[in-house]
Amino acid sequence: RGALAEDIRVRFDRPEVFISDDFIKEMIDKCRQADLVPIFGTLSEEDFDTDLLRRVYAKRDEYGIRSTQHFAETDWRRDIVLKKHGMRPVEYLYRNGFLSDRLIGSHCVQVNDEEVEMMAESGMHVINTPLCEMKIADGVAPVAKYVRAGINVGLGTDGAEWNNSEDLFREMK
């Protein structure tokens, strides 16, 4: 079954400005008519702000859908969150109550064993994008640890710009 992720932000450089409720309702209706799962794309790690994330997840919960976001993707993004919030990305989301079974984490490469436990406890899901990680040298996600911890892991492509393709069969190879 397919899913369509629509970014909750109007523009990447203005993360506090969300798409309109009318647009959200139309997106959800069209997804359901096409038998697709509607999902909100959310903030990049460099934009993590506790109040803004509360707004994002409140909007997600208002519409009863899931959300996805890139986190623990790269060492430099991990370091931004660490410097800004005194915690690594997964711990920051966990301590603020943002990890849940309604969250799909993309990449999740830069994690330690404690963070894997936090992810498993929350019931969140992970999308692994191995070709993207190889192309942009993020590292290798600890998929085996995720599976052993009971985390639901799916396979994704990220986007053509970071992967040269959006072909899931190519990803499966």
pLDDT score, position 64? 96
- Per-residue confidence (pLDDT) for residue 163, from 0 to 100: 57
In tens, the pLDDT along 90-121 reads 999 999 999 999 999 988 999 999 999 999 99
**Which is more confident, 157 or 106?**
106
Nearest-10 Cα torsion for 149, 152, 157, 162: -40
More confident residue, 126 or 133: 126
pLDDT at 133: 75
- Please tell me the predicted confidence (pLDDT) of residue 173: 72
**According to the model, what pLDDT value does residue 74 have?**
86
Extended beta strands in the chain, E state = 3-7, 37-41, 66-71, 103-107, 125-128, 152-155
* pLDDT at position 161 over 70: no
Closest CA to 130 of 101, 153, 104, 113: 153
pLDDT value of residue 140:
87
Identify whether the C-beta of residue 78 lies closer than 8 Å to the C-beta of residue 104: no
- Does residue 132 come out as left (phi exceeding 0), alpha (psi in the -120 to 50 range) or beta? alpha
Q: Given a cut of 70, is residue 157 above it in pLDDT?
A: yes
> Is the model more confident about 129 or about 115?
115
Share of the chain above pLDDT 90, in %: 66
12: left (phi over 0), alpha (psi -120 to 50) or beta: alpha
What is the per-residue pLDDT for 162? 59
Task: Give the tens place of pLDDT for each residue, 2-54.
Answer: 888 899 999 989 999 999 999 999 999 999 999 999 999 998 888 999 999 99
